[in-house]
Amino acid sequence: MRKLRVLLVGAAFSADLHSDGYSRIRDKAAIVGICDKDLDRVRALAKRYGFEDYAAYDDYETAIRDCDCDLVDICMPNFLHHDVAILALQRGRDIICEKPLATTVEDARDMVDTAARLDRRIYYAEDWLFAPAFRKALAILRSGQLGRPLYIRARECHSGSHSPFAQSIRYCGGGCMVHLGVHPVGFMLALKENRWRELTAMTSGGRAKNLIHRAMEGEDWAGAFLRFEDGMTATVEANYTTVGGMEDVLDIYCEQGCIHVDLSFSGPVKVFSIPGLDYTVEKAEITTGWSTPAVDEKYNLGYCGEIDHFVSCALAGTDAQVGLRGVDGLETLKVIHLIYRSAREGVHITNDRLEA
């Protein structure tokens, strides 16, 4: 069986999440190159996941030019997604791109248009769509046994990013909505095939207007109400004001039942520790006392499933499922920027592009 040859561009947080996925499908994918300006980080990542026979690069332009690969996996800061993607697409490679697709709608559209013109594919890394608990919830919903869905509430929250890039709109594209809310927004759009009808939003406003993070240019709290073509409504929320660990929560209310999913704190293991543990869940500030340590966190958050899906699609030369394509990343970013506009201008926004 032919293996997909992958070049990882970036060797930090996102690359670690993706590398765990590749390490579980060694029969289908091989890491043939890893690029990061810090070569010690490259070597550490490769050692952690047992990658061998790879080329190490400290410059992404050189890596994309010289590495003999089928696919470039972009695990770089948000503001570099566009430039790395365009180089890789022009080199004839398919790409995986972490969320958000870019920092501006214009850059995201350029990526999608370039891929279409060159007959290449963009795989958009939205892990929520492969989180096993969320997939189970959707299977129950689609069974029809709970009746028609009426309202969905979805949120991702934690206490704030430690990345210096997340402090600046120039580098990140916004605040918590583009960094965290991208997951519930993308999830809802995928569920409804991007057919939203109207939205209204509020945010904390950034800097001195923020609830806590007043040095951050982007907002540290954001929420939006959306209505879809079929009449179903949704609330999506993101914030950097939640302590105690990351929250990924989905509530689905239907005509004859409801579904509640908590990805972060629903594990079967509970521990009490006086000195504290090395790790419990992502973004947990303390690990003393009672805690619920994550069990196979990367798998349960969906990263392993999405990587497996992307590799299978790339080997077959097919697009990813709805919600995981470049066009879906573009639509998600469009909606997030409209959320920002609604909050900034205090306006209710309707989707004029939706077909009657």
195-208 tens-digit pLDDT? 999 999 999 999 99
Residues contacting residue 127 through CB under 8 Å, at least 6 positions apart: 17, 183, 301, 302, 303, 305, 306
d(CA 141, CA 148): 8
Q: What is the mean pLDDT of residues 85-89?
A: 98
Give the pLDDT of residue 92: 98
Output 184 or 161, whichever has higher pLDDT: 184
Q: Does residue 291 surpass a pLDDT of 80?
A: yes
What is the DSSP secondary structure assignment for residue 6, as one 8-state letter?
Answer: E
- pLDDT band at residue 356 using 50, 70 and 90 as cut-offs: very low
Could you tell me the two tokens for 350? 């309707």
Cα angle 73, 74, 77; round to 5: 160
Say which range, 142-146, 156-160, 262-266, 305-309, has the weakest mean pLDDT: 262-266
Give the pLDDT of residue 355: 52
The percentage of the chain sitting over the pLDDT mark of 70, rounded to a whole number, equals 99
Q: What is the mean pLDDT of the chain?
A: 97
Q: What is the mean pLDDT of residues 167-184?
A: 97
What SS3 string covers 195-263?
CEEEEEEEECCCHHHCCCCCCCCCCCEEEEEEEECCCCEEEEEEECCCCCCCEEEEEEEECCEEEEEEC
Give the predicted TM-score (pTM) of the model: 0.97
Q: What is the mean pLDDT of residues 260-270?
A: 90
Q: Does residue 183 surpass a pLDDT of 60?
A: yes
Q: Which domains does the chain have, with CATH numbers?
A: 4-128 (3.40.50.720), 129-302+334-350 (3.30.360.10)
Q: What is the mean pLDDT of residues 22-27?
A: 98
By residue count, the chain amounts to 356
99 in the Ramachandran plot: left (φ > 0), alpha (ψ -120 to 50) or beta? beta
What is the H or E stretch that residue 16 is in? helix 13-23
